Amino acid sequence: MSAQETPSEDKELELIRARKLLELRKKLLKQSEEEKKPDPRRILVSRLIDRGLDVLEAAERAYPEETKVIVKKLAELIERGYIQGYIRGGELLSLFRALGLNVSVETTISVLEDGRLIPLAEKFKRRD
């Protein structure tokens, strides 16, 4: 550009700057609106008890896309008040299985012996 710009060039530059500034403001506004939306997973996790989080994580590993849809719907039902109270791990597991998702959760049975919890399999090994 030359050292001396004509008035029309000044107006064009100002117009370009104004457009870019407007685009930037729209982009920032959209980002702030997205940040205000509550995360569906966070909403659901806040209502999970017992081994609910274990079940959810197992489902996310086994069926990530399907679980996202289910989590989103459950969060929506929680927000609307259709689901009140807490969701137990067994209930969540039953829901996934009812929807055809065979989620497997690692389980162990422990017994109290001499003030310590030991796996049931270890207790049977000791008897032999």
Domain that holds residue 23: 9-37
Query: Distance of alpha carbon 89 from its chain centroid, rounded?
Result: 16
- 108 belongs to a structural domain: yes
Q: Please name the residue that has the structure tokens 């597991």.
A: 93
Q: Indicate the pTM of the whole model.
A: 0.61
- 4 belongs to a structural domain: no
Looking at the structure, do residues 66 and 111 belong to the same domain, yes or no? yes
DSSP-assigned letters across all residues of 30-78: HHHHHHHSPPHHHHHHTTEETTHHHHHHHHHHH-HHHHHHHHHHHHHHH
Q: Tell me which residue of 98, 95, 119 sits closest to 108, measured CA to CA.
A: 119
The pLDDT tens digits of the residues spanning 72-109 come to 999 999 999 999 999 999 999 999 999 999 998 888 88
